[in-house]
Amino acid sequence: MKSLGSEKIRKTKAVLIAGTGSGVGKTTVALGLMASLCKKHKVQPFKVGPDFIDTGHHTHVCGRPSRNLDSFMMGETGVLETFSRASKDADICVIEGVMGMFDGLDATETASSAHIAKILQVPVILVVNAHGASRSIAATVKGFAEFDRVDIRGVILNNAGSEKHIRLIRDSLVSAGIKIPVIGALPASNEISIPSRHLGLHMAGESARDISILSDFIEKHVDVDAVGNIAGGFAPQDVELKEPEERYNVRIGIAWDSAFCFYYNDSFDELRKLGAELVFFSPMKDNLPPVDGIYLGGGYPELYANELSKSKTLGQIKAAADSGMPVYGECGALLYLNERLETDREYRMAGVLPASSRMTGKLQALGYTEALVVSDSPLAEKGRLIRGHEFHYSITECDRDARFVYKLVRGKGITNGKDGLAEHNTMAGYMHTHPASVSFARFSGFCSKYRKDKPV
């Protein structure tokens, strides 16, 4: 990759919403602040970690694509580049953290909210569950403030009780010499909760949630002006943004519907920068459009197995793959490209890959992955090391002569530490990747070759 110079980003505000642990209310606070700030400002949302679902809710609220910031998959440079590109025309950036602020990969800071805060040098607001505690909150905040070099500028209490309860907590912070102010206190409320399923929260488009209720709730209980002042303490760094060395005149089909909806917007951006025209289609409802390659993301094919099995697209994708068209799939796409998928019963799938999958109702794998490429594929050449993550409840059983592209250094994969099942120019596995870890340049090149070589 060669540099075409640096793009300067204008002064913008930014704040990271972190929590003392999972389930303390980070998503509620982040979404509520986004909704409130969007009334007057261009808000760019971000999510720490590999999550696809929270970013969908951010995008729904803010009207612009949310971006993931993950220092394991993307590296520090990738985090800085994504933030710089996405924030350049925003008034304020709101970054939702992940788990507890210091929880990262194993016992390290990597991929934690704290690591992202330090990479970007962004101020932090800490969300604390106040239920059943008062003076102990002061000990918690003091510990978080002094544990590492993270700039915590404010505290928001969730599940706060009476005004007396809130006053006790504020007084405890003051008496302990903690100068971090409480800028909000949210009472418990079922009105703003988001339903969930086996892979997490429901997607943004699945419920007609009134965004104004969320913003009104936050504005009633949080000093939004104080949030803006904290965000104003952010000084963006100058980052050199690199452009591709080569562009490819190709059309790439993107599977996009309720069954296939787990994608990183950075992937779409990179494909477009590489010269691709992206053609979105539904494997449940549409014909396969005229394309030179196909990218199928993760999602919920198990919830739509009946519709997918009856769709005419199934055979069209099979025929395209058999003709040598490059096809790349992640997680849910693996289930779709296999021969059969068992949920409530067994359904016929595309039959491109020599394997069958079944849902188990039990978590089979969750966490970061690191894969050594042991066989060339349209995505990456042999010898590369790729980072990603996996999260699935299914089991996939392959034919004995199945060919795998990945040997996992970290993670579970399809079977015995192997992932990336390959056939023709099709490859799919449980691992989700990010373009900062493995570029789509090789895939675009394969699509370009297919376009030139395919029979007219």
**pLDDT one digit per residue (tens) for the chain, 456 residues:** 333 333 444 579 999 999 999 999 999 999 999 999 999 999 999 999 999 999 999 999 999 999 999 999 999 999 999 999 999 999 999 999 999 999 999 999 999 999 999 999 999 999 999 999 999 999 999 999 999 999 999 999 999 999 999 999 999 999 999 999 999 999 988 666 554 434 444 445 545 457 889 999 999 999 999 999 999 999 988 898 888 989 999 999 999 999 999 999 999 999 999 999 999 999 999 999 999 999 999 999 999 999 999 999 999 999 999 999 999 999 999 999 999 999 999 999 999 999 999 999 899 999 999 999 999 999 999 999 999 999 999 999 999 999 999 999 999 999 999 999 999 999 999 999 999 999 999 999 999 999 998 866
Contact 117, 151 (CB under 8 A): yes
Contact 7, 241 (CB under 8 A): yes
Residues 217 and 255 in one domain: no
Alpha carbon of residue 241 to chain centroid? 21
Task: Give CA–CA dist 133/117, Å, rounded.
Answer: 27
Contact 12, 92 (CB under 8 A): yes
The residue range of the domain holding 265 is 251-453
3-state SS, one letter per residue, for the chain: CECCCCCCCCCCEEEEEEECCCCCCHHHHHHHHHHHHCCCCCEEEEEECCCCHHHHHHHHHHCCCCEEECHHHHHHHHHHHHHHHHHCCCCEEEEECCCCCCCCCCCCCCCCHHHHHHHHCCCEEEEEECCCCCHHHHHHHHHHHHHCCCCEEEEEEEEECCHHHHHHHHHHHHHCCCCCCEEEEEECCCCCCCCEECCEECCHHHCCCCHHHHHHHHHHHECHHHHHHHHCCCCCCCCCCCECCCCCCCEEEEECCCCEEECCHHHHHHHHHCCCEEEEECCCCCCCCCCCEEEECEECHHHHHHHHHHCCHHHHHHHHHHCCCCEEEECHHHHHHCCEEECCCEEECCCCCCEEEEECCCCCEEEEEEEEECCCCCCCCCCCEEEEEEEECEEEEECCCCEEEEEEEECCCCECCEEEEEECCEEEECCEECCCCCCCHHHHHHHHHHHHHCCC
- 199, 231, 263 - which closes a domain: 231
Amino acid 264 reads Y
Provide CB contacts within 8 A for 198, sequence distance 6+: 361, 393
Residues 129 and 182 in one domain: yes
CATH of residue 359: 3.40.50.880
Residues 256 and 224 in one domain: no
Residues 194 and 307 in one domain: no
Task: Give CA–CA dist 206/245, Å, rounded.
Answer: 40
How confident is the model at residue 196, as a pLDDT?
47
How confident is the model at residue 11, as a pLDDT?
74
pTM for this prediction: 0.92
Residues 82 and 193 in one domain: yes
Provide the number of structural domains found in the chain. Answer: 2
- 231, 263, 287 - which closes a domain: 231
In a domain, 351, yes or no: yes
In a domain, 201, yes or no: yes
Residues 272 and 158 in one domain: no
In a domain, 447, yes or no: yes
- 231, 265, 287 - which closes a domain: 231
Residues 175 and 261 in one domain: no
Residues 337 and 445 in one domain: yes
Residue carrying the six token digits 């007609």: 208
Task: State the maximum Cα–Cα separation within the chain, in Å, rounded to a whole number.
Answer: 79
How confident is the model at residue 197, as a pLDDT?
38
Residues 28 and 81 in one domain: yes
Residues 223 and 195 in one domain: yes
How confident is the model at residue 275, as a pLDDT?
97
How confident is the model at residue 450, as a pLDDT?
97
In a domain, 72, yes or no: yes
CATH of residue 135: 3.40.50.300
In a domain, 243, yes or no: no
In a domain, 285, yes or no: yes
How confident is the model at residue 209, as a pLDDT?
57
pLDDT tens digits, residue range 118-177? 999 999 999 999 999 999 999 999 999 999 999 999 999 999 999 999 999 999 999 999
Residues 255 and 385 in one domain: yes
User: What are 422's strand-pairing partners?
Assistant: 403, 427
Which two three-digit tokens encode residue 414?
A: 């399809």
In a domain, 6, yes or no: no
**Active site positions, annotated:** 331
In a domain, 237, yes or no: no
pLDDT tens digits, residue range 424-435? 999 999 999 999
Residues 109 and 178 in one domain: yes
How confident is the model at residue 456, as a pLDDT?
62
